[in-house]
């Protein structure tokens, strides 16, 4: 693999599932950049930093100690202040917090730097909201993976109920719509699909079909 693969798209579209499988098949590392914004949201919560207060978030940034590590089996873990915070990344509160801190330009610039370091000396597959448009804008392999908001809410609802967790479809859908709005309407580096990016709509696709769609483009 000479070039890295960049994937953007809204929450819950299947980006990370597709990216993980594609990374294994291509034998390259996968970086989930959303996990980095989430780890920052966890750190803010622990340090009593209000994620709605940009100045407070900015003041915390120089103290941020974030690290991405991989297990022997290639699983990405996020460390904050030396602690593995991976188990705390996936709550609704942290999802919202991540979306809010991601609006702060200085946060985006700092995390972009860290993400580019990972891709500096090797090809990687990376997903997020500004990977095609910013972090890896030089790569020819750019993808926008999406699905209807209803389908994404359905998938999340199924996932939560299968894990035996409480779930309410309407609330999940409202959260998704709210996060889409925040991520695509923020002033600095919003989520957009540009003309040079291949759109994969997974609403009616299986995971395998979505992976195939991506890999066939890469191999071409």
Choosing from 5, 11, 44, 64, the residue that interacts with ligand DC (CB under 6 A) is: 11
177: tokens are 């719509």
139 binds ligand DC (CB under 6 A): no
The CB-of-50 to ligand DC minimum distance in angstroms stands at 17
DSSP string covering 102-155, please? Answer: TTSHHHHHHHHHHHHHHTSSS--EEEESSIIIIITTT-SEEEEEE--HHHHHHH
Residue closer to ligand DC by CB (options 125, 216) is 125
Choosing from 20, 152, 156, 179, the residue that interacts with ligand DC (CB under 6 A) is: 179
98 binds ligand DC (CB under 6 A): yes
Segment contacting ligand DC by CB under 6 A, of 45-53, 65-73, 123-131, 152-160: 123-131
- Residue-wise over 147-180: b if at least 16 C-beta within 10 A, else e? bebebbbbbbbeeeeeeeeebeeeebbebbbebb
Segment contacting ligand DC by CB under 6 A, of 65-73, 122-130, 156-164, 165-173: 122-130
The CB-of-19 to ligand DC minimum distance in angstroms stands at 10
Segment contacting ligand DC by CB under 6 A, of 30-38, 159-167, 197-205, 212-220: 30-38
The CB-of-38 to ligand DC minimum distance in angstroms stands at 6
43: tokens are 């750190």
Helix axes 207-219, 15-26, angle to 10 degrees: 50
Residue closer to ligand DC by CB (options 99, 202) is 99
Cβ neighbours, 10 Å, residue 91: 13
Query: Which 8-state DSSP code applies to residue 95?
Result: H
Choosing from 80, 99, 133, 202, the residue that interacts with ligand DC (CB under 6 A) is: 99
* HSE-up of residue 121 (Cα within 13 Å, Cβ side): 0
Choosing from 19, 68, 130, 146, the residue that interacts with ligand DC (CB under 6 A) is: 130
Query: Which 8-state DSSP code applies to residue 134?
Result: I
Query: Rounded to a whole number, what is the distance in angstroms from the first to the last CA of the chain?
Result: 13
Residue ranges binding ligand DC (CB under 6 A): 11, 33-34, 37-38, 98-99, 102, 128-131, 179, 183
């Amino acid at each position: 693999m000479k070039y890295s693969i960049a994937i953007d798209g809204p929450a819950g579209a299947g980006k990370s599932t597709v990216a993980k499988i594609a990374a294994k098949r291509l034998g390259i590392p996968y970086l989930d950049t959303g996990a980095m914004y989430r780890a920052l949201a966890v750190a803010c919560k622990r340090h009593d930093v209000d994620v709605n207060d940009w100045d407070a978030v900015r003041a915390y940034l120089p103290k941020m100690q974030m690290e991405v590590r991989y297990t022997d089996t290639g699983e990405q873990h996020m460390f904050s202040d030396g602690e593995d915070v991976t188990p705390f990344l996936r709550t609704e509160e942290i999802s919202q917090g991540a979306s809010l801190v991601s609006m702060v330009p200085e946060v985006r610039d700092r995390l972009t730097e860290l993400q580019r370091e990972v891709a500096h000396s090797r090809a990687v597959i990376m997903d997020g909201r500004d990977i095609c448009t910013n972090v890896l804008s030089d790569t020819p392999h750019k993808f926008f993976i999406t699905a209807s908001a209803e389908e994404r809410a359905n998938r999340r609802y199924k996932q939560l109920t299968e894990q035996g967790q409480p779930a309410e479809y309407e609330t999940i859908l409202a959260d998704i719509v709210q996060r889409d709005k925040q991520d695509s309407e923020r002033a600095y580096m919003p989520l957009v699909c540009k003309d040079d990016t291949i759109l994969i709509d997974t609403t009616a696709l299986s995971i395998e079909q979505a992976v195939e769609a991506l890999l066939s483009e890469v191999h071409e």
